[in-house]
Chain A
Amino acid sequence: MGPWLWLAALAVLLALPAVLSGYVVTIFILIFFYGFLGQAWNIVGGYTGQLSVGHAAFVGIGGYTAAMLSIEAGLTPWIGMFIGGALAAVLGAIIAYLGFRFGLRGFYFVLLTVAFAEVCRILASNIDAIGGALGLYITFTGNPRQFQFQDQRAYYYVALALMMAATGVVAVIERRRFGIYLTAIREDEAACEALGVNTFKYKMLAMLVSSFLTGIGGTFYAYYLFSLQPSTVFGIPLSVEIIIRPIVGGAGTLLGPILGSFILTPLGELSRSYFGQGGMYGVHLIAYGVLLIAVVLFLPHGAYPYLTRLFGGRPRA
């Protein structure tokens, strides 16, 4: 696809809120937001092949940091979001340092990330200063300085900007030596090391960038939903939500997380609201589960590489 096509797609996305109804705008906001989180995860989980199932912890830390700074110190979340991202990156560095220094792979690395996220969840639910198990509630002021908007369309553009920014970061990484190292680590770490690549350093860097971006997402989460609960924001289900989109779309590809989010988010939202009315809440998650199984069995590289092959694009590098 040429650059003109991209510009056209971007122009359509920029113009869409003018014609869409409120509900569809909400779905697009979630598509962009989960596309953003998926893209952030993609750096360490997709390109580098280090399967983190604890990324919710970064969302939680980022969200809590920005919200607490705003509530206690009056700092605008526009600055707080970067501090939140930085703190998330500190946790990312700790997890990555321990995991990679001690050589945990596969299931063991998954468990380490899950364990850290769970420890965060338990701690957050037991610290009364940050709201304990009930969590934090943010009062609505509608003040853009407080990252709050009267108009849904403002959230639409912020979420779109986040997704575009993360995709830009990944596009830059992909074209540089750094990105090639990451892919090489995923494909054959031992060979990569034998060729003199400092795999530890690059895995650490991948986790740092990924956790920083995810932490920034936490601020959006907090100020879009106006509440933070430890069990949802640090929970394993959110981590699964984060990883499932890039995997279905194509982990380790630039557009995979976005494609995955365009497929799964409307599916999830529509079935949630359709079946939720009848009291059947789990249906969209059953659909996710079936899709996950189908992707592993039939499209192990995700939908994006499959689609590019189908439409005669160049094969994946």
Chain B
Amino acid sequence: MDPTLVLQGVLSGLLFGGVYSLMAVGLTLIFGVMRVVNFAHGDMMVWGMYLALLLSTRAGLDPYLAFVACAAALFALGLAVQRGLVDRIVDAPHEMQILLMLGVALVLENLALVAFGPEPARVRSALSTATVWLGPVFVDVARLVTFAVAVVLTLALYLFLFRTDVGRTVRAAADNTYGALVIGTDVRRVYAVAFGVGAACVGAAGALVSPILPFQPATGLSLSVASFNIVIIGGMGSLLGAFIGGLLVSVAESLGAVFLKPSLKELFSFSLLIVILLFRPAGLFGKRL
């Protein structure tokens, strides 16, 4: 096995992992605050991708700028889904929540199918063709920028949660909903903010990955499953776990594609998921937000 190839695999996996991390951080935020699993997470991300595509083809906006608009649009979508649907089943049994979110996922995925068709799409960016050499390995500039922006956004989310008053109320409600209610927190508003911010994460992640990853409406399902994977491996509700889990899963898949057939790469993360589910269902990083 050529060591350069392995190094290349690790590097490209790591760079792609930034997007996985951002996506998983959004999922874990929603779960941590509401104990609701967003089964429509990947489908929301696909909508972020298609918005980036629209902004690029209709307005000529580069996805590395358009991600801000995509995040804002998905924030609104997340807010609407939370206010209109999720809010009514926050206290319902898990099964009911899962089914409701499955319904939302079906609607979002197939609206995209009706609107954009099943053909794979990709967004053009000025950066798409540029590469730089780092010693023996080369790096796509697009991947590098995607990674950098995704990491900056994750850090920004961290600062929001730990350094601002709204962020502190979000963490308080996640930690102890009843306690937060007692001290006068508007928990419904916190839920709406958390769902909105969680969806905004995938809005941005979708736009950022749109020049790298060809996508179609059905991509949403595999992205959802990948996010569940990462969040379980990192620990449901743990931001740090989601971040590191994202990098870990991405590197594992990338190495899987190097050592085995590319079509077997997902086998790695699913096997890892089963092992973690059985032996450490709390994940690698506990469960605190």
Indicate if the CB atoms of B106 and A292 lie closer than 8 Å: yes
Asked, given contacts A107-B98, A247-B99, whether A116 binds B274 with beta carbons under 8 Å apart, the answer is yes
**Set A106, A122, A236: member contacting B263, Cβ < 8 A:** A122
Indicate if the CB atoms of B281 and A104 lie closer than 8 Å: yes
**Set B95, B108, B264, B277: member contacting A115, Cβ < 8 A:** B277
- Complex: A51 Cα to B240 Cα, angstroms: 29
**Set A108, A112, A118, A126: member contacting B225, Cβ < 8 A:** A118
Q: Which of A75-134 contact B (CB under 8 A)?
A: 98, 102, 104-108, 110-112, 114-116, 118-119, 122-123, 125-126, 133
Q: Which of A284-302 contact B (CB under 8 A)?
A: 285-286, 288-293, 295-297, 300
- Complex: A123 Cα to B103 Cα, angstroms: 28
Interface with A: B56-64, B111-119, B192-200, which one? B111-119
Asked, given contacts A283-B114, A300-B96, whether A293 binds B104 with beta carbons under 8 Å apart, the answer is yes
Indicate if the CB atoms of A106 and B103 lie closer than 8 Å: no
The minimal Cβ–Cβ distance linking A73 to chain B, given in whole angstroms, is 28
The minimal Cβ–Cβ distance linking A100 to chain B, given in whole angstroms, is 11
Indicate if the CB atoms of A122 and B267 lie closer than 8 Å: yes
| Residue in chain B with minimal CB distance to A118 | B270
Chain B residues contacting A125 (CB-CB under 8 Å) are 263
Indicate if the CB atoms of B277 and A296 lie closer than 8 Å: no
Chain B residues contacting A126 (CB-CB under 8 Å) are 261, 263-264
- Complex: A126 Cα to B232 Cα, angstroms: 26
- Complex: A237 Cα to B106 Cα, angstroms: 9
| Contact of A172 with B by CB under 8 A | no
- Complex: A237 Cα to B225 Cα, angstroms: 13
Chain B residues contacting A274 (CB-CB under 8 Å) are none
- Complex: A122 Cα to B270 Cα, angstroms: 10
Chain B residues contacting A114 (CB-CB under 8 Å) are 225, 228
Q: Which of B100-127 contact A (CB under 8 A)?
A: 100, 102-114, 117-118
**Set A106, A116, A237: member contacting B94, Cβ < 8 A:** A106
Chain A residues contacting B99 (CB-CB under 8 Å) are 247, 292, 295-296
| Contact of A226 with B by CB under 8 A | no
| Contact of B92 with A by CB under 8 A | yes
Indicate if the CB atoms of A282 and B270 lie closer than 8 Å: no
| Contact of A281 with B by CB under 8 A | yes
Judged by DSSP, the binding face of A is helix
- Complex: A183 Cα to B281 Cα, angstroms: 26
Q: Which of B246-289 contact A (CB under 8 A)?
A: 261, 263-264, 266-267, 270-271, 273-274, 277-279, 281
- Complex: A237 Cα to B85 Cα, angstroms: 22
- Complex: A53 Cα to B228 Cα, angstroms: 14
- Complex: A107 Cα to B36 Cα, angstroms: 9
Indicate if the CB atoms of B37 and A297 lie closer than 8 Å: no
Indicate if the CB atoms of B110 and A285 lie closer than 8 Å: yes
**Set A116, A133, A240: member contacting B106, Cβ < 8 A:** A240
Indicate if the CB atoms of A122 and B266 lie closer than 8 Å: yes
The minimal Cβ–Cβ distance linking B220 to chain A, given in whole angstroms, is 11
Asked, given contacts A236-B225, A247-B99, A281-B113, whether A296 binds B89 with beta carbons under 8 Å apart, the answer is yes
- Complex: A192 Cα to B14 Cα, angstroms: 48
Indicate if the CB atoms of A104 and B98 lie closer than 8 Å: no
The minimal Cβ–Cβ distance linking A246 to chain B, given in whole angstroms, is 11
Indicate if the CB atoms of A115 and B270 lie closer than 8 Å: yes
| Contact of A280 with B by CB under 8 A | yes
Indicate if the CB atoms of B100 and A296 lie closer than 8 Å: yes
| Residue in chain B with minimal CB distance to A297 | B88
| Contact of B217 with A by CB under 8 A | yes
| Residue in chain A with minimal CB distance to B85 | A293
| Contact of A279 with B by CB under 8 A | yes
| Contact of B221 with A by CB under 8 A | yes
Among A106, A110, A293, residue most surrounded by chain B Cβ atoms (within 10 Å): A293
The minimal Cβ–Cβ distance linking A287 to chain B, given in whole angstroms, is 9
Chain B residues contacting A291 (CB-CB under 8 Å) are 103
Chain A residues contacting B228 (CB-CB under 8 Å) are 111, 114
Chain B residues contacting A108 (CB-CB under 8 Å) are 232, 277, 281
| Contact of A179 with B by CB under 8 A | no
16 CB-based A-B contacts, threshold 8 Å = A106-B98, A111-B277, A115-B274, A119-B270, A122-B267, A280-B114, A282-B111, A286-B106, A286-B111, A290-B107, A292-B103, A292-B106, A293-B85, A293-B107, A296-B92, A300-B96
Binding site for B on A (CB under 8 A): 49, 51, 53, 98, 102, 104-108, 110-112, 114-116, 118-119, 122-123, 125-126, 133, 236-237, 240, 247, 279-283, 285-286, 288-293, 295-297, 300
Beyond A118-B225, A119-B270, A296-B99, 19 additional pairs, beta carbon < 8 A: A102-B277, A102-B279, A111-B228, A111-B277, A115-B273, A126-B263, A281-B118, A282-B112, A286-B114, A289-B102, A289-B105, A289-B110, A290-B107, A291-B103, A293-B85, A293-B107, A295-B99, A297-B89, A300-B96
- Across chains A and B, which 5 residue pairs bring their CB atoms closest together, nearest first? A282-B110, A289-B106, A292-B103, A282-B113, A106-B94
